[in-house]
A and B are shown apart, each in its own frame.
Chain A
Amino acid sequence: MYRYDQIDREMLADRAAEFRAQCARRLAGEITEDQFKPIRLMNGLYLQLHAYMLRIAIPYGTLTSAKLRALAHIARTYDKGYGHFTTRTNLQLHWIKLRDAPDILDELARVDLHAIQTSGNCIRNLTTDPHAGATADEVDDPRIWAEAIRQWSTFHPEFSFLPRKFKIAVTAAAKDRAAIRVYDIGLRLHRDAAGELVFTVMVGGGLGRTPYLGATIRQALPVRHLLSYLQAILRVFNRHGRRDNIWKARIKVLVASLGAEAFARQVDAEWEASDKTAVDLPDTELARIRAAFAPAGFATLPPVSPAFEAARRADPAFARFARNNVTPHKIPGYGLVNVSLKVPGETPGDCSAEQMDVLADLASRYSMDEVRVTYEQNLLLPHVKLDDIPAVYATLAAVGLATANIALVSDIIACPGLDYCALANARAIPIAQDIARRFSDPDVAEKVGELKIKISGCINACGHHHVGNIGILGVDKKGEEFYQLTLGGSGDDDATLGQSLGPALPADKVAPAVDQLVAVYLRERREGERFLDTFRRAGLAPFKEGVYAEAV
């Protein structure tokens, strides 16, 4: 994977020094909180309900064991001993003291991590396929392009004061594991008829108050022109995006108001007028980045591992883990091990410092030193020999990280909600905990099968509720927390926005309603249907009846 060179490192060191100076001015009272706010926000430091929250970027969700150990150390030293992985594959620490923030940035910079552009109206940390480099269904490693974009977008002089935040996701696989259609720009890498690598460029997706799926504005952008084309999109957005209303400032509103075709024409005109060679990376630089992601060190193994098969036969719990949490690898004899951060009853996405340390050890010993963060708030060891998976499982189980529920009903996405966030209308975490406890019996969860529940504590939709098979949105009704349910959403390659189920429910009725929805699904489903498939075939009516008939 990509290792920072001297230039990348000096960028981080300069940033940490800059923030130290800015913090010193604030702590000395030379600048007011109002003046400091935009500065700290550019360093990912939010003032939340109880304390400062620091959002640490995990570029395209890739960690080494050294990085993960540093995060564990920081969580232990400066916070309460745990961190929260987000749907944007970042790590949030929710109990930070301002005076510690410069030291934290220094510690992060030592392992090539930072909080650059994790907030503010700029190009945010990139998201990509957590299976990158390990999955057989990709045409290229998307991290090559993610790294190119990371560098280009870092401290961009023109695009640091956009109308609103800007998020880019890139994938190179047929199956979308990065939810690219709900991003400001979604990039899908594929090969054209001539075999050349090209991007399909989607623009204007996003959730929040007005959800949209991205519209394709270019089918086959030659990869060498990626950055100049991104510059054209960003320039059109920077010049013409709305700035009069924060709720209408995302690029999705500009694209929707112009229409995707007219927007595409503006982008093309801007692109044609620009000096592409000044922006696009030279082949030498692309080759340098590409080399950093070249697969290396895989052993030649038989596709079937006797040790793995024996463990499956011997231990039903391991067999369940293997069924739900182990994904095939492109190299025979290897697997991807998904590590669920959705222990029923715990906070989705939370990970303790001890767990981080254990994962770091496992990564360095068994997974070529790599850990990935997924947008579904789980972690993943991408390159584990099947032979080693029983040992990895045992170690994970010993620290509570072997929950075998990936993509099942208890694998719930939830934002921090009103427990932490100053924007939230309602709590999200306790709702997730209630639901997960109801389905904590793994046999029941497996019988239900793939069912993605996503919970947001407010309309900003950090929990992606619009694309949940069951989406749950916290709303405030005269000071009381209520929850609006949507059904049928999907963030995958068949991306769809959910439909409203009916009137909002009080907090204690949400988990029972999910129970009802599952009961209707189990009654209605046909052979091989997932929850989503049954909903698409049978429609809203039986589900609506199931939930509201009893309530009346």
Chain B
Amino acid sequence: MPKLFRWRAGEAVAAEDPFTAVDDDQVIPQGDVIISLTRFQSEGDRLLGGCRQVGVRLAPDEAVEALAYDLPRIGVVALAFPKFRDGRAFSAARVLRERLAYGGEVRAVGDVLLEQARYMVRCGFDGFEPADGSTPAQWTAVAHRFRHVYQRTRDGLAPAFVEREGLDHGL
């Protein structure tokens, strides 16, 4: 079972994962599950009728907009990185957070590497299944390696152009 980090108050914290990731050819077990978009579209209503949380796993070529009307009842959206170089999930995460106002967990799964921690946190991921054995402490350190940012995302950091306004007012 892959280990899970959650991003809480600016830190990566190792967490128990209540969800079971279920492939399309597997029988759905008891408890909280993460299933594919295809399966969610055919079985989602039935599963959500039971007393459990349902998460959806999106491949990079599946648009997050497909979930727009279901997001309030989805416990986790797992965005796949088939290779670390495949950066489509970064856009998907930002659209989820910034356009679709999704407040649940956005989880990075697949080839999830320490060196990407900062980009992921900035784009709105708050769940990680690192593939490289990195520790929560390393994850936190890499995410905070830079004191400033140049872009505004939903991570709450003030971009440089906002920081500068503050500096000017302080004079």
- Which A residues lie at the B interface, using CB under 8 A? 5, 7-8, 10-11, 14-15, 17-18, 38-39, 121, 151-152, 154-162, 235, 238-239, 243, 273-275, 278-279, 281-282, 284-285, 288
Contacts and interface: CB of A to CB of B under 8 A. Distances in A.
B147 A158 contact: no
Contacts of A10: 147-148
Contacts of A281: 161
Contacts of A5: 164
Contacts of B45: none
B161 A157 contact: no
B91 interface: yes
Given A158-B91, A285-B161, A11 B85 contact: no
A18 B164 contact: no
Nearest to A39: B115
Contacts of B160: 7-8, 151
A157 B84 contact: no
Nearest to B165: A284
Nearest to A278: B152
A31 to B, nearest CB: 10
Interface of B: 60, 63, 84-88, 90-92, 94, 98-99, 115-116, 118-120, 122-123, 145-153, 160-161, 163-165, 168
A11 B116 CA distance: 17
A288 B163 CA distance: 13
B86 A161 contact: yes
A235 B65 CA distance: 14
B91 A239 contact: yes
A24 B112 CA distance: 22
B148 A238 contact: no
Contacts of A235: 91
B153 A157 contact: yes
A155 B149 contact: yes
Nearest to B88: A239
Nearest to B161: A285
Contacts of B153: 157-158
Nearest to A286: B161
12 contacts: A8-B160, A18-B146, A157-B90, A157-B118, A157-B120, A158-B91, A158-B94, A158-B119, A160-B90, A161-B90, A274-B99, A285-B161
Nearest to B145: A18
Nearest to B149: A155
A551 B122 CA distance: 62
A11 B99 contact: no
A312 to B, nearest CB: 48
A161 B88 CA distance: 8
B64 to A, nearest CB: 10
B98 A275 contact: yes
B165 A282 contact: yes
